[in-house]
Chains A and B, each alone.
Chain A
Amino acid sequence: MNLDPIFKAKTMAVIGVSSHNDSHPANVIYNKNHFRYPLTVYPVNPKGGTIKRETLYRDITDIPDKIDLAVIAARADFVPDIMEKCIRHEVGGAVIISGGFAESGKGNIQKRMTDMAREAGFPFIGPNCLGIYSPQRIDTLFLPAERLIQPSPGNVAFVSQSGGVMVDSMVKFTRQGIGISTATSIGNKALIREIDMINYLAGDPRTRVIVLYIEGFEKNEGRRFVLTAERCPKPVVVMKGGRSHAGSKTVSSHTASMAGDYRVFSDIMKQHGILEARNEMELASFCEALSSYQKCISGKIGIITVSGGHGVVAVDNCEDLGLDVPQLSEATRDAIREHFSSSIRSIASLSNPIDLTGSALDDDFLAAANVLVKSKEVDCLLVLILPYSPGISAELGARISHICKTEDKPVIAYIPNEEKYAMLIEGFELNKVPVSYSVEGAVLMAKALMRDEKC
């Protein structure tokens, strides 16, 4: 099925817009798209009338325009008829916001609707979902925009069984400088499911990372999912909701008792190179890193720090996550030492982590980074910056980033998240070098790049 009419809609009909209740979900959706997005939007309500001087169409078939996307926010009982009209009127696809289907025991209505859509080749998202969001392009979330933090455009695509998890993650992503290409709340996923979304997003030029929040699959669907994700040329990150072991099943064998649903899920994701985020921090770290770097690393980390303690903590985190912090060769150390300023030459420690000490200047960071980005001894750089040191300037972020751009080697920075250091942080982020606000987060970012041993 062609999902372009949904995700690249130019014309939209919102069905269920109220002429008197402007906080109705359909009205929220109509208003935001009508006023703020580059779409032509038509409101529909069987009672007719006007809204904000625009015609409220009685029926989607009355609209004198080809409709790409119908957003349906009417009562569940009416939805099959509405869909039938959409199909007849050659609408490109639908997002069904309405609830009251399989999730509340009305699987029969949902099935009727899904069968009809499948037969007609009519794609729809939902029902019982928040729909789709793409910064500056389209927004079917019935949440008033002023309540949200506007996500910035970027290359992470979010697909979620839960609308709440999706919106909350987007808000947090925004604070961490992670941009979104599209976010899709698939709700009851009656027709369009995770696999369809991966297949679609694999071909979406705006998307470089695909993230999915998953609660469960249908029979054997997990198997098809991992095979699809494994074939997808873009990194796939999953977060699993519902990990507790359903204890009701018979446990007549050791295998059945030990191979609980979540363990099986987790092990199989790993087997097929799909990165599993176990919590919000991992999710954000993985997305931020993969949004900058899609190339895999083998996990040999070079660490540059001005604080010995931060170096120690970073090494601990690396060890916990299976990343290697190799010793540097004498030749590499000499090459770095040669370019150090006189103030640190005799006191800096050149084993990995490289501890520049609190007397370090910008140029000392650059000296170490310059050698390490070219060295084969490490395949990823962690730069731990504590801006309290007097020799560090606000330009350091941009200057280190520029070095990295010359070599194809990922660099990740740690800087404390304070407004004071914003310029330093932006120096990295504007150059697509990910910045974490904790050492652990920075190491998690490196871990994300190790996702697939096969590449």
Chain B
Amino acid sequence: MSNLIKDNALVADEWTRVIPPSLGDEVVKKQAGKVVLFKLTGEPTYSPAQIAATQIPATGKVLLPLTVWQANVEQLASRMAAGEIGILIATHEPLDSLAATFADINELPLIAVFVERFPDGRIFTIGNLLRTRYGFKNELRAVGDVLRDQLFFLKRSGFSSYLIRADRSAEDALASLKDFSQPYQGAVDDALPVWRRVDRA
């Protein structure tokens, strides 16, 4: 069974995530002897060589890193038109470049946000901005280090599907979507703060 939660249920994953190959030339950044865990906003994710070496399956729905799509726009135009292309961005990639790539962001049936480490809370702001600022209406998926204890926040930040990390039970994780029944503040899933939602007087 897939580890994908969508619309509060476990569903099969129709999308194949395309990951550029590791060419062994990645630089590990260190600071004071420690490996730097988070990439700064704006840092590149893949080298041009990695992007060039990426194999894209010939058929089916594929989830591509934004930079891979940008290098293959013409070849994949018909598949985009057929709704077979979804775009993946990492939490350190600027949303402006995603928005600038598409005349209408709602051409995309799926945007996925990759969170390499779950404590990286940029994913919540990205979800929020994609929904409220860029007007994205289709499936918004969290992928990567996605764990049940962040699901409630992801849901409130505009995500609609969650690919739970492979070694964890997505079935157990479903319960966490309902951790709180009446949150205080307005967010993406319900723009109204509690005092505009219910009569508290």
Q: Do A and B bind each other?
A: no
- Taking Cβ atoms with an 8 Å cutoff, the residues of A that contact B are none
